[in-house]
Structure 1
Amino acid sequence: MAHFEKRGTKWRAQVSWYDEQGKRCFKVKQGFLTKSAARKWANEMEVAKDDNQISNQDPIFADYFKDWYETYKIPGKSNNTQNRYKHIYVLLQQNFGKTRISKITRRSYQHFMNSYGKKHVKDTVYKTNGTIRTCVKDAMSEGLVKINFTERINLTWNEERSRKIEYLNFKEVQKLKKSLLKDITPSYISRYMLLTIIYTGMRPGEIKVLTWHDIDFKNHTISISKSWDYDNNTRGAS
């Protein structure tokens, strides 16, 4: 049930509900010019209550991101993945400081991505924005924010830093294969690895951990069940 109170020339609205533990919670907002404006906000909160999308919490944006990825994203992940989330956390700290998540606007987030894009390539910009967007979507489901301020953002990037990959054509691959086979001996392990890539399309990390048990000479097949974990310098599941 909503409660309204006039303080001076402004109105204050309060809604309450009970959480999963049966504890009564309150959400308050003040500064409304009219009672009808306060009532409109309260009605929106009542709808949010029915959809379980209301919260009396308003964490700092960067802190929420840190708690989010530590809880849902990095357990069991590689060091490289963990470092990527930690790097984004530092970015949010540097750019938004102690700003609470409810105070982040689409405009302020756009400024952040504009600045970030000046120094990073397209793939990095898209991955970073995608990670933050997923976090904010979860914040919406928890009732911390009403809109996803990462939506409809114009992403830009640094073209000069982008690397253009040029692939070998068929004739160049045949020339490379011929060069690798010339005077090859069992001690030329790197040559055999490159030939395996050409013949099978396997990744270097998958080839690095192959054993004789993985090769079926009778049926001319190779079983891929593991790959090299470069982050931890160990063999891991593929």
Structure 2
Amino acid sequence: MERDFNREELFWQYYEKWIEVYKKGAVRDITLNKYMMTLTWLKKLAPDLVVSDLNRVGYQTIINGYAEYHERQTTMDFHHQVKGAILDALDEGLIERDPTRKVIIKGKVPSQKKIKFLNQFQLHSLLADLDLNSKQEIGWDWMILLVAKTGIRFSEALGITPKDFDFSRQTLSINKTWDYKNGTGFMPTKNKSSIRKIELDWRTVAQFSELTKGLPEDEPIFVHGNVYNSTINAVLERHCIKVGCPVISIHGLRHTHASLLLFEGVSIASVARRLGHASMTTTQRTYLHIIQELENKDVDLVMRSLSNLC
């Protein structure tokens, strides 16, 4: 592909080259796919727009067109992906002014969100329904337990090998993932912050020390042939329905783990480290609703304390 940028080419063509030059090989495949989806929408919304003609009105029209079909947060993500390319075009002198300045982000009315996490009672009911037989192959129920106890990601759980456990120190090392989508084996973690040691409770240590006895040290304990995210979600769904709790995904167990820690008063910094978030900002944004509830409880506690003062 010709990589020279010029101001007289179509904007979507410029964006396609921009992805090739700046993003391909620099971001994870899942992120690259999002950029490619953005490219598809640019072709649809502005098929004839030339780079040099891009102005605030034109850019706002693109954003408005995208917002007709997407919620505001999704539109915001689209805006950030396109804006990155536009700012580079501005630096290169292909356009004279920043057309993204003062853009108004709109979007469809958010649909009713599915419940993403369980409360403590629901989680207890779910875990009590698991078939945790240590004498059989380590199956999906064991992964459900471990994700609920640690908050690790699905791909991180798949990458766990016996040597990742340090039973004497009661920790689990997360230092790799498993590429279940393409079947290429072990892969790096999502980011450097995802490399971490997670403390385990004594019961989990006892269970997995027994489970992993005699297993190959460097082979994943949960991978037995082809692996699909939909498979464990189906197993989890059956358990949820059986015990009468909301149906959540395996990623929902990660949210459940974090939510319970926050409600128990664990600091945001500690939760962020345990989840492998790159910054506390990610944790705060993801669990804003819970943090707000806790702040309301704090206000009530402060008022009760002050009312008792003479």
Query: TM-score, normalised to structure 2's length?
Result: 0.54
Aligned equivalent of 1:132: 82
> In structure 1, the residue corresponding to 2:103 is in which secondary structure?
coil
**2:18 is aligned with what amino acid?**
W
Offset, 1:65: 0.9
User: Quick check: 1:104 aligned with 2:54?
Assistant: yes
Q: Are residue 60 (structure 1) and residue 20 (structure 2) matched? A: no
Residue 236 in structure 1 maps to residue 190 in structure 2: no
**Residue number in structure 2 paired with 1:198:** 148
Counting matched residue pairs gives 184
Separation in 2, partners of 1:60, 1:166: 41
Q: Given the alignment of the two structures, is residue 146 of structure 1 paired with residue 99 of structure 2, yes or no?
A: no
Q: Distance in 2 between matches of 1:163 and 1:68?
A: 34
**Alpha-carbon distance in 1 for matches of 2:135, 2:109:** 44
Bigger shift: residues 190-199 or 221-230: 221-230
Which structure: larger Rg? 1
Pick the structure with more strand per residue.
1
Residues 76 and 57 (structure 1), Cα distance of their counterparts in 2 relative to 1, 3 Å cut: closer
Contact 1:79 1:231 in 2 (8 A): no
Matches within 5 A, 1:105-184: 105-159=55-109, 161=111, 163-180=113-130
Structure 1 runs, 4 residues or longer, greater than 3 Å off: 55-59, 76-79, 160-166, 181-188
Indicate whether 1:212 and 2:149 are aligned: no
The AA in structure 1 aligned to 2:169 is: N
Backbone CA RMSD of aligned residues: 2.4
* Structure 1: gaps (5+ residues): 1-54
**What CA distance in whole angstroms lies between the structure 2 residues aligned with 1:223 and 1:78?**
22
Return the alpha-carbon distance in structure 2 between the equivalents of residues 71 and 230 of structure 1: 28
CA distance in 2, matches of 1:183, 1:211: 19
Identity fraction in percent: 27
- Alpha-carbon deviations, 1:162-205, whole Å to 9, x = none? 63434211222222222226667543511111111111111111
State the Cα distance separating 1:120 from its structure 2 match.
Answer: 1.8
Q: Is the 8 A contact 1:207 1:227 kept in 2?
A: yes
Q: Secondary structure at the match of 2:130?
A: helix
Q: How does 1:19-98 map to 2 (within 5 A)?
A: 57-98=7-48
Task: Give distance in 2, aligned partners of 1:212 and 1:152.
Answer: 53
- The CA distance in 1 between the partners of 2:114 and 2:24, in whole Å, is 31
Could you state the TM-score of these two structures normalised by the residue count of structure 1? Answer: 0.68
Deviates more, 1:215-224 or 1:106-115: 106-115
Asked which structure has the greater RCO (Cα within 8 Å, sep 6+), the reply is: 2
Q: Tell me, which stretches of 5 or more residues in structure 2 are unaligned?
A: 190-310
Contact 1:69 1:85 (8 Å CA) reproduced: yes
